[in-house]
Structure 1
Amino acid sequence: MIKSLGYAAKHSFSRMKPLEFERAEAGPDEVQIDVLYCGVCHSDIHQVENDWSNTVYPCMPGHEVVGRVVAVGNGVTRHAVGDLVGVGCMIDSCRACEPCHEGDEHHCEGHNSWLATYNGPMKPAAMTDDGVNTYGADNTYGGYSNSLVVNEDFVLKIPSNIPIEAAAPILCAGVTTFSPLRHWGVKSGDKVGIVGLGGLGHMAVKLAVAMGADVTVFTTDKDKIEPAKALGASEVVIEGDKDAFRKLELSFDFILSTIPEKHKVDPFITLLKRNATYCACGALDQIPGYNNQELIMHRRSLAGSLIGSIKETQDVLDFCAEHHVAPDVQVIDIQDINDAYKKVKNEDVRFRYVIDMASLKREMEDA
């Protein structure tokens, strides 16, 4: 067993604190990773606070992980000791269902859905119809720790020209926005709307601009107008500006919402062209009622998108390397994680916190 240390919450109302635990050593098809950096995702906060009613405690978040391979099983062929690698939202899936066979592991239809990097399977055994736990464990501990052990098929290669600390958010915020942009065929010349300008939203802007799209950002925060333009947006619209919305009716090829909470979609439906799509990738809450007539009259679509596949995650890493795209990050020590959570909730970060896990190693040395 590998003696490990991380930061975890023991209850929905508790602060993140150090937690000693053990990981099993790398099996034949697994790699052991020394964690160097880990991004702070808004979903980490949702999970810690049990906003989705599926959290298993202790909860040790972290699914934007960049590190160095320090050991490999005797069957590993894709990675070697010394490789710089990444781990995103998943560390396994059932491998047997139709989505898994088609390369959509993030839509796994096995008993427990895919195995999350932290907080166990997407559906813990107690929440399944038959109580079956495919993976043999009700909980997993994520990247707010000094080490990870992951099956090699779910480990990504980090291109050498992406700054190590900036690579971390690409593994969630990057693929979560890249996947719908590519799935709905965003291309050069398309008019694309991005709703929200946080960790996901700012990556969506950068990726859509790199794809050649004309990007408009929708935000409730006037302080984000200049940052949005600096990221490449050609226009910024303040939500609630009825005149601005009226002028944009029937003009968008695609709108992507990155807001992590429930919000009204009605104002955006009328902005879509005929056959165009509004896609939500940030919120897991119920969508408030909308006017279905507006969908029917112009054959518009409402859609959703969940993270992305392993292939898409590698694709977005390679795309970012090719187009020199990287998230804007603020590096913090693990000891500052509770304060960081407060600032994320208050939208006081530009645009993604990334934990330097060397701070955890110093804590281990001082213990």
Structure 2
Amino acid sequence: MRLPADIADVDAAPLLCAGLTTFNALRNSGARAGEVVAILGIGGLGHLGVQFARKMGFVTVAVALGQDTAPLARELGAHHYIDAATQNVAEALQALGGARVILATAPSGKAMTAAIGGLGLNGKMIMVGWSEQPVEVPIPQFVMRRNSIQGWPSGIASESQEALAFSVLAGVKPMIEEYPLSKAAEAYERAMAGKARFRVVLRPDQ
């Protein structure tokens, strides 16, 4: 694949992983512009998911823990913010008409289970966050609302190029922390500790 001329290498790197995953999941979700799409978790995947959802024309709902994240969610393009620490996520989504899609980026089966009741008619939860915890499915709801669950891994080279092209066109940009290659170990530790906001990118030493 070819990198667009007007994108920095350090920005392209996360877009070829977290960006490709969320971009592909959303554009293949079946949701149409104007429908409610919720992004569960505002981290390395989620902060890009919110941007893509807004740029694709969805009514974008960000779901995360704490009111401290609300300003960031709105800065990224969210129309609505749900604080999972103080609100019932499923009820809040139903108050918005029910989600056509919930893009689950948070690495928590428990959080996914708590949100799944927010799916509307023909709603779908797409799981991209990795969790060893199981997700509990309310069978009556899934039958009556025709709900579904899907996983989405990533994409292929041509889709990577499309993700980058869309990002440049729509102004989607990752939030990154840059480290020189000589500090790779330090960068790795920060990423593994969950302290990075939101992706650590290594660059050559100056």
**What TM-score do you get using the length of structure 1 for normalisation?**
0.52
- Counterpart of 2:2 (choices 140, 152, 157) is 157
Q: Is the 8 A contact 2:82 2:92 kept in 1?
A: no
Q: Which residue of 2 aligns with 1:253?
A: 100
Instruction: Trace 1:175-194 onto structure 2 (pairs within 5 A).
Output: 175-194=20-39
Q: Which residue of 2 aligns with 1:215?
A: 60
Give the letter aligned to residue 226 of structure 1. Answer: P
Instruction: Trace 1:25-104 onto structure 2 (pairs within 5 A).
Output: none
* Deviation of the 1:215 alpha carbon: 1.0
Aligned equivalents of 2:101 and 2:167: distance in 1?
21
- Post-superposition Cα deviations, 1:317-361, rounded to whole Å, max 9, x if no partner, equal 1111221222122211223333333433444332211111x22xx
Identity in percent: 29
Q: Which residue of 1 aligns with 2:70?
A: 225
Q: Is the 8 A contact 1:186 1:208 kept in 2?
A: no
Q: Which residue of 1 aligns with 2:142?
A: 295
Q: Is the 8 A contact 1:217 1:228 kept in 2?
A: yes
Between 1 and 2, higher relative CO (CA 8 Å, sep ≥ 6) is seen in: 2
Aligned equivalents of 1:286 and 1:312: distance in 2?
30
Aligned equivalents of 1:171 and 1:272: distance in 2?
29
Give the letter aligned to residue 216 of structure 1. Answer: V
Q: Which runs of 5+ in 2 are unaligned?
A: none
Aligned equivalents of 1:267 and 1:194: distance in 2?
13
Q: 1:346 to 1:196 in 2, by over 3 A?
A: farther
Higher mean Cα deviation, 170-179 or 284-293?
284-293
Q: 1:347 to 1:223 in 2, by over 3 A?
A: farther
Q: Is the 8 A contact 1:269 1:295 kept in 2?
A: no
SS at match of 1:199: coil
Give the letter aligned to residue 16 of structure 2. Answer: L
Q: Is the 8 A contact 2:41 2:63 kept in 1?
A: yes
Aligned equivalents of 2:89 and 2:153: distance in 1?
30
Give the letter aligned to residue 332 of structure 1. Answer: Y
* Deviation of the 1:221 alpha carbon: 4.0
Q: 1:221 to 1:342 in 2, by over 3 A?
A: farther
Aligned equivalents of 2:33 and 2:113: distance in 1?
27
- Post-superposition Cα deviations, 1:263-310, rounded to whole Å, max 9, x if no partner, equal 342322221111110110121535233322221121101111011122
Give the letter aligned to residue 164 of structure 1. Answer: D
Q: Is the 8 A contact 1:221 1:238 kept in 2?
A: yes
Aligned equivalents of 1:346 and 1:236: distance in 2?
26
Higher mean Cα deviation, 298-307 or 309-318?
309-318
Greater per-residue helix proportion: 2
Aligned equivalents of 1:185 and 1:318: distance in 2?
21
Q: Which runs of 5+ in 1 are unaligned?
A: 1-155, 363-367
2:88 counterpart of 1:266 = no
Q: Is the 8 A contact 1:174 1:316 kept in 2?
A: yes
Q: 1:230 to 1:264 in 2, by over 3 A?
A: closer
* Deviation of the 1:224 alpha carbon: 1.8
- Counterpart of 2:191 (choices 338, 344, 348) is 344
Q: 1:237 to 1:332 in 2, by over 3 A?
A: same
Aligned equivalents of 1:162 and 1:348: distance in 2?
25
Give the letter aligned to residue 355 of structure 1. Answer: L
Q: Is the 8 A contact 1:166 1:326 kept in 2?
A: yes
* Deviation of the 1:158 alpha carbon: 0.5
2:15 counterpart of 1:170 = yes
Q: Which residue of 1 aligns with 2:81?
A: 236
Aligned residues: 204
**RMSD of aligned alpha carbons:** 2.0
Aligned equivalents of 2:162 and 2:2: distance in 1?
10
Give the letter aligned to residue 220 of structure 1. Answer: L
